[in-house]
């Protein structure tokens, strides 16, 4: 009898534990469903936020391209305005706004590894001198002095991504000015070594002035500075060090910071560049304009101001330009005419640049088509390749960059 009683008790205990475990499993399963639902909703909201920032960035880039393009054209057409304060102000504002937009875009994709730099030849001295000229305007009404030194041993034409390089340097110079009052900022570009066609170049920004507090120094390393400090800062924003490090990594370089309470701080960025020899450089940049025969180019963009800027740029370089503001008419123009190259805006209503290019490729597989886009190209790589586009240019762009891309893709 005792065995039956003990067995019954054990069976009751087992049954009780089984019921409790089933209840716990059911509760856990419900919690997992809730967590999964919450995770899915969070991911959805995060993706919506990313999409919104991308669209906002694109909407900002488009009019900025027109402003910067017209500013550069005005400076070219009227060299007597080279030192005009209003023109300098306009150029500085455009350059600085572009850097801020790029920073915001890179915050949006901070966890992504897909920052793919372009590889084009550009004039390094021109890029750095333009930066100095822009910031020189910003220091005119302050007690800061911006000094610039460019190593004469550097071959000016190098292969790399001028947009990313400019973004890095503009952030570093801006940060140096922010933490300098009644002092000096020294910007130098130096050749570390050269081996064959590869040059290792360093970019150093050093500042002095009033002693920077320990709290302010620490804020340099923060991903973002506080709103209260932003209001006190020299140019309204601080260095987003995380973004700059990521951009430097994309160029296979690194940022080195040295702090000294007595002499100020120094930021150094060093990386390798492929060098284009001077004689080859002259050929590279004059290739598109050396021929006596005008090359026909079709420019497709729904923005009238963008069409005007691109047409003005190319008309001065011996191009016969045709402009059109929609994809459907562009298809018919390519069908009925022979063009040396087509510049295709990606974001157009009704039929965008991707769809327009796909239809053109059904009957024309040879004419080079270059994408003009204000959208971060990492989102478009697969679509660009599948559509049959040969290359891309990210808005806003300068004339040298445009000519370089066209020259690279011209049909022999």
pLDDT for position 297: 95
The arithmetic mean of pLDDT across residues 102-106, rounded, is 68
pLDDT for position 336: 94
DSSP character for 348? Answer: -
Could you tell me which of 315, 311, 312, 366 has the C-alpha nearest to residue 343? Answer: 311
Tell the burial category of 312 from Cβ atoms under 10 Å away from its Cβ (0-12, 13-18, 19+).
Answer: middle
Higher pLDDT, 155 or 332: 332
pLDDT above 70 (res 112): no
The arithmetic mean of pLDDT across residues 345-361, rounded, is 90
Could you tell me which of 167, 200, 172 has the C-alpha nearest to residue 186? Answer: 172
> Rounded distance, CA 341 to CA 290, Å?
17
How many other CB atoms sit within 10 Å of the CB of residue 59?
A: 12
pLDDT in tens, 205-258: 988 755 445 555 444 434 334 434 443 433 334 446 777 888 888 888 888 877
> Is residue 243 within 8 Å of 110, Cβ to Cβ?
yes
pLDDT for position 106: 63
> Rounded distance, CA 71 to CA 387, Å?
33
pLDDT in tens, 192-202: 998 888 899 99
Q: CA separation (Å) from 165 to 15, 34, 202, 271, 379?
A: 70, 46, 12, 10, 21
Q: pTM higher than 0.85, yes or no? A: no
How many other CB atoms sit within 10 Å of the CB of residue 279?
A: 8
> What would you report as the CA-atom Rg of the chain, rounded to the nearest whole angstrom?
28
Q: How confident is the model at residue 125 (pLDDT cuts 50, 70, 90)?
A: confident
Could you tell me which of 243, 286, 252 has the C-alpha nearest to residue 270? Answer: 252
pLDDT in tens, 268-290: 889 999 886 554 444 444 444 44
The arithmetic mean of pLDDT across residues 136-165, rounded, is 81
pLDDT for position 355: 92
Could you tell me which of 183, 155, 167 has the C-alpha nearest to residue 107? Answer: 167
How many other CB atoms sit within 10 Å of the CB of residue 226?
A: 11
Phi/psi-derived region of residue 46, left when phi > 0, alpha when psi is between -120 and 50, beta in every other case: alpha
Could you tell me which of 167, 371, 126 has the C-alpha nearest to residue 250? Answer: 167
pLDDT for position 298: 96
pLDDT for position 225: 41
pLDDT for position 1: 65
Q: What are phi and psi of 275, to 5 degrees?
A: -100, 135
Range with the poorest average pLDDT among 30-44, 93-107, 395-409: 93-107
User: Which of 12-16, 229-233, 311-315 is modeled with the greatest confidence?
Assistant: 311-315
pLDDT above 90 (res 150): yes
pLDDT for position 328: 94
Torsion angle (degrees, nearest 10) of CA 298, 75, 165, 131: -170
Paired residues of 204 in beta bridges: 188, 268
Percentage above 70 pLDDT, the chain:
75
Higher pLDDT, 56 or 409: 409
Q: What are phi and psi of 168, to 5 degrees?
A: -60, -50
Q: How many residues in total does the chain contain?
A: 412
404: tokens are 């370089």
pLDDT for position 122: 81
Task: Write down the mean pLDDT value for the chain.
Answer: 77
pLDDT for position 292: 60
Residues 14-41 as b or e (16 or more Cβ within 10 Å = b): eeeeeeeeeeeeeeeeeeeeeeeeeeee
pLDDT in tens, 71-95: 888 877 888 877 777 777 777 777 7
pLDDT for position 335: 94
> Rounded distance, CA 319 to CA 355, Å?
26
Give residue for tokens 């702090």.
259
pLDDT above 90 (res 374): no
Element (H, E) at 185: strand 184-195
Q: What are phi and psi of 154, to 5 degrees?
A: -80, 130
Higher pLDDT, 74 or 378: 74
């Amino acid at each position: 009898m005792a065995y039956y009683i003990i067995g019954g008790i054990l069976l009751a205990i087992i049954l009780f534990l089984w019921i409790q475990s089933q209840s716990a499993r059911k509760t856990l399963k419900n919690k997992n469903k809730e967590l999964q639902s919450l995770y899915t909703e969070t991911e959805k909201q995060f993706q919506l936020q990313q999409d919104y920032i991308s669209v906002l960035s694109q909407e900002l880039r488009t009019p900025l391209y027109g402003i910067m393009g017209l500013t550069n054209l005005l400076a070219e057409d009227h060299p007597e305005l080279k030192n005009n304060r209003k023109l300098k102000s306009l150029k500085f504002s455009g350059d600085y706004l572009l850097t801020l937009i790029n920073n915001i875009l890179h915050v949006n994709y901070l966890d992504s590894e897909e920052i793919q730099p372009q590889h084009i030849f550009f004039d390094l001295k021109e890029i750095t001198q333009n930066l100095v000229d822009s910031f020189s305007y910003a220091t005119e009404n302050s007690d800061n002095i911006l000094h610039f030194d460019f190593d004469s041993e550097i071959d000016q034409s190098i292969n790399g991504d001028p947009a990313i390089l400019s973004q890095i340097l503009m952030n570093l110079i801006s940060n140096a000015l922010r933490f300098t009052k009644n002092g000096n900022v020294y910007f130098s570009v130096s050749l570390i070594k050269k081996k064959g066609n590869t040059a290792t170049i360093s970019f150093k920004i050093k500042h002095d002035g009033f002693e920077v507090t320990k709290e302010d120094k620490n804020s340099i390393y923060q991903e973002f500075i506080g709103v209260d400090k932003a209001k006190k800062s020299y140019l309204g924003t601080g260095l987003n060090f995380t973004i700059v490090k990521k951009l430097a990594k994309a160029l296979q370089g690194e940022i080195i910071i040295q702090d000294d309470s007595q002499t100020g701080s120094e930021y150094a960025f060093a990386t390798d560049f492929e060098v284009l020899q001077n004689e080859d450089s002259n050929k590279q940049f004059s290739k598109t304009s050396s021929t006596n025969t005008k090359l026909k180019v079709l420019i497709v963009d729904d923005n009238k101001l963008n069409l005007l800027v691109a047409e003005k740029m190319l008309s001065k370089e011996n191009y016969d330009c045709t402009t059109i503001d929609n994809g459907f008419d562009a298809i018919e123009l390519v069908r009925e005419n022979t063009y040396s190259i087509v510049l295709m805006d990606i974001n157009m209503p009704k039929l965008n640049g991707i769809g327009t290019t796909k239809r053109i490729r059904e009957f024309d597989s040879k004419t080079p088509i270059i994408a003009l886009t204000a959208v971060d190209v990492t989102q478009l790589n697969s679509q660009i390749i599948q559509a049959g586009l040969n290359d891309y240019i990210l808005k806003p762009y300068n004339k040298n960059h445009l000519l370089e891309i066209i020259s690279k893709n011209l049909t022999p």
